[in-house]
Amino acid sequence: MKIHLNLPTSNTSGNLGMGLLAQRTISYLTENEHIDKSIQKGFMEKISGRVEHTESLSEVIQDAKNNGKPIVTTWLDLQNAYGTVPHNLIQFALDWYHVPDHIRKMIFNYYDESYIYVKTKE
């Protein structure tokens, strides 16, 4: 039996809608001071600082190396966060930062209702 996965190569309307929702959610969180822009740099429009953070980290690592100091770093890769982080945890975080209920429901439903199907000759 040969299995074919029918997956759209891109969901333009979904990507556009979720992109707009993401921008508006970030604006909401920023305007209501739920995001500390001195710390959060990634995914923030018109805010540079990723180079600043990378340079600061490099300096700390180099200092530890030069002076024989122990150092612990943690790398988080949330590229596909909704695929790997439990949905309830993301919902908790959105609730914690006072994202309106109707926005949380839209985000949850978008991912909860996404699915694929398998089509076979039989």
Cβ atoms of residues 15 and 110 within 8 Å? no
Q: Are 71 and 60 spatial neighbours (Cβ–Cβ below 8 Å)? A: yes
Q: Helix or strand or coil: residue 6?
A: coil
Q: How many domains, in total, are found in the chain?
A: 1
Stretch 18-47: mean pLDDT:
78
Instruction: Return the higher-pLDDT residue of 80 and 21.
Output: 21
pLDDT digits (tens, 9 = 90+) for 34-60: 887 777 666 666 666 666 777 888 898
Q: What is the pLDDT of residues 80-99, one digit of tens each?
A: 555 667 778 888 988 998 88
pLDDT higher than 60, residue 16: yes
0.75 exceeded by pTM: no
**Containing structural domain, residue 68:** 4-119
